[in-house]
C-alpha cells in the first residue's frame, strides 16, 4: 500500500471513528443506555483533614498517600490487582495528593509543582471515562502541561498544575454524559478547590481552569463568581449556557476544538425529554457563543495535551496569562 493510499485510508478510518462516536453520543440523547455495574472495590474512607493551608500542605499530602496505600492493600485483598496497582502508584512518596478517595470509581486531586509558592496555577478538569482505573492518561496530560509551563514561564515565575479528578465523571456512552446532572453535583466541589488554592497560594496567584470535554460543563456550572483569571473550554460539547456571558464570570472565557475532534459532530442542542434537559446548547467555538476562540490545531478529542501540539502551546500561554501570544482559530 503506497503512502498516498495509506493517508487516504487513515483519513477514512478517522471519519468513520468520529462519525461513530458522534452517533453513539447522539443516540444517548434519546436512548436509555446502561452498562453492567462494576463490583464495589473496598477502600477506606478519605482521610479526615481540615481545609489545607500552606503550613499544613505537606501533612495533607502525607495523609492522603497513607490513605492510598491502605486502599491498595484493601483492593489487593479483594483480588483487584489493577486497582491495587493504581492506588499503590498514588501512594508513592513522590506524589502530592491534595485529596484522595479510593472508593467506587475513585477521586483524586494531585499537585505537580510547588503549590505554596506558585504564581500561576493551572487546574486541569477531565471529561468522561476518567477514574482511578484510567488516571494514568489524565496524569500524562497534566505532566505534559506542567513541563511546558516550566519551560515557557518567564524568569522568576513559578508554576503548578492541579490535576482535579474531584467528581464522578460520566461514561462517554451513557445518559449521564448528555445532561448537566453530574456537573451540577461537581460544581460546588470545584468551587471549594479554588477556595483551597486561594488559601494555600494567596491572592496574588493567577488561577486558570483548563476544562476538557464534559469537564467544560463542570467548569461552566462552577463559573458564576469564581475567582479565576481564565477558563478554557477544550473539545467542549457545550456548556448548558447560550453564551459566554451567560456563565456570569469575570474570567476570560476561551474555547478551542481540534480539526479532527469528533465532538464537532455532536448536535449542539438542548431539549426537555421526559422531564430531563439533555444536550448543552450553543457550540462554544461558534461566534454566537462569544468566547475567545484559540487555535487548537489538527488533533483529535484526546490530543489536546500532546507534547509539541499547538493546542498545548496555546493552553500554556493562557495559563501563564500571556494572552496576546495566543493564536486564534
Alpha carbons 161 and 114: distance in angstroms, whole number: 9
Q: Which helix (H) or strand (E) holds 79?
A: none
At residue 98, the pLDDT reads 98
Residue-level pLDDT at 66: 98
139/120 Cα distance (integer angstroms): 19
Look at the chain and count its residues: 329
Whether pLDDT at 39 is above 80: no
Residue 3 has pLDDT above 70, yes or no: no
Please provide residue 277's backbone torsions phi and psi, each rounded to the nearest 5 degrees. Answer: -85, 125
pLDDT at 64 over 90: yes
Q: Please tell me the distance from the alpha carbon of residue 177 to that of residue 127, in angstroms, as a whole number.
A: 9
**pLDDT band, residue 274 (cuts 50/70/90):** low
Q: How many CB atoms lie within 10 A of CB 37?
A: 6
pLDDT, position 216:
97
Q: Is the pLDDT of residue 202 over 90?
A: no
DSSP assignments along 28-59, one per residue:
HTTS----PPPPPPP-PPPP--PPP-TTTHHH
Confidence (pLDDT) at 267: 80
> Over 60: is that where the pLDDT of 79 sits?
yes
Can you read off the three cell numbers belonging to residue 183? 456537573
Cα–Cα–Cα angle for 151, 156, 158, rounded to 5 degrees: 65
Higher pLDDT, 210 or 1: 210
Count how many Cα atoms sit within 13 Å of the Cα of residue 278 in the half-sphere of its side chain.
19
Angle at which helix 135-152 crosses helix 310-320, to 10 degrees, equals 60
Predicted pLDDT of residue 180: 84
Task: Say whether pLDDT at 271 is over 70.
Answer: no
- DSSP class of residue 263? G
User: What cell does 68 get?
Assistant: 492510598
User: Confidence band (pLDDT; 50, 70, 90) for 276?
Assistant: low
Give the count of beta carbons closer than 10 Å to the beta carbon of residue 46.
16
Helix H or strand E encompassing 17? helix 3-28
Cα separation, 112 vs 189, in Å, equals 20
Instruction: Measure the CA–CA gap between 21 and 63, rounded to whole angstroms.
Output: 40
SS3 225: coil
pLDDT, tens only, 285-305: 999 999 999 999 999 999 999
Say how far apart CA 21 and CA 25 lie, in whole Å: 6
The predicted-structure confidence for 121-148, as pLDDT tens digits, reads as follows 999 999 999 999 999 999 999 999 999 9
SS3 state at 284: coil
Residue 139 CA to residue 109 CA, distance in Å, equals 10
3-class secondary-structure state, position 120:
strand
Whose CA is closest to 182, among 229, 144, 252, 128? 128
Model pLDDT, residue 33: 32
Mean of pLDDT values over 223-241: 96
**Is pLDDT of 31 > 50?**
no
Structure letter (DSSP) for residue 319: H
Q: Please, which pLDDT band fits residue 47 given cuts at 50, 70 and 90? A: very high
Cell of 170: 460520566
Pairing of strands 252-256, 206-212: unpaired
Pairing relation of β-strands 276-278 and 271-273?
antiparallel
Residue 36 has pLDDT above 90, yes or no: no
Quote the CA–CA distance of 318 and 143 in Å, as a whole number. 17
Mean pLDDT for 23-48 is: 58
Average pLDDT estimate for 169-178: 80
Amino acid at each position: 500500500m503506497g503512502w498516498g493510499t495509506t493517508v487516504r485510508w487513515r483519513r477514512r478510518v478517522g471519519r468513520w471513528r468520529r462519525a461513530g462516536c458522534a452517533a453513539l453520543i447522539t443516540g444517548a440523547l434519546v436512548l436509555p443506555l446502561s452498562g453492567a455495574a462494576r463490583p464495589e472495590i473496598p477502600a477506606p474512607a478519605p482521610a479526615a483533614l481540615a481545609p489545607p493551608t500552606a503550613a499544613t500542605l505537606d501533612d495533607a499530602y502525607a495523609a492522603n498517600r497513607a490513605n492510598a496505600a491502605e486502599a491498595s492493600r484493601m483492593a489487593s485483598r479483594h483480588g483487584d490487582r489493577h486497582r491495587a496497582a493504581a492506588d499503590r502508584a498514588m501512594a508513592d512518596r513522590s506524589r502530592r495528593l491534595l485529596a484522595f478517595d479510593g472508593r467506587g470509581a475513585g477521586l483524586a486531586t494531585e499537585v505537580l509543582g510547588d503549590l505554596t509558592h506558585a504564581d500561576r496555577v493551572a487546574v486541569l478538569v477531565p471529561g468522561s471515562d476518567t477514574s482511578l482505573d484510567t488516571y494514568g492518561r489524565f496524569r500524562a496530560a497534566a505532566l505534559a502541561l506542567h513541563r511546558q509551563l516550566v519551560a515557557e514561564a518567564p524568569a522568576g515565575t513559578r508554576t503548578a498544575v492541579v490535576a482535579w479528578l474531584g467528581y464522578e465523571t460520566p461514561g462517554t456512552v451513557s445518559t449521564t454524559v448528555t445532561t448537566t446532572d453530574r456537573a451540577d453535583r461537581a460544581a460546588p466541589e470545584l468551587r471549594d478547590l479554588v477556595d483551597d488554592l486561594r488559601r494555600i497560594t494567596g491572592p496574588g496567584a493567577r488561577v486558570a481552569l483548563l476544562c476538557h470535554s464534559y469537564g467544560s460543563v463542570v467548569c461552566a456550572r462552577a463559573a458564576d463568581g469564581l475567582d479565576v483569571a481564565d477558563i478554557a473550554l477544550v473539545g467542549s460539547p457545550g456548556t448548558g449556557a447560550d453564551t459566554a456571558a451567560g456563565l456570569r464570570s469575570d474570567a476570560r472565557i476561551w474555547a478551542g476544538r481540534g480539526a479532527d475532534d469528533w465532538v464537532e459532530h455532536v448536535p449542539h442542542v438542548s431539549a426537555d425529554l421526559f422531564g430531563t434537559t439533555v444536550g448543552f446548547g450553543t457550540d462554544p467555538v461558534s461566534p454566537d457563543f462569544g468566547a475567545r476562540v484559540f487555535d487548537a490545531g489538527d488533533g483529535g478529542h484526546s490530543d489536546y495535551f500532546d507534547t509539541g501540539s499547538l493546542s498545548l502551546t496555546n493552553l500554556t500561554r493562557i495559563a501563564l496569562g500571556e494572552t496576546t501570544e495566543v493564536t486564534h482559530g
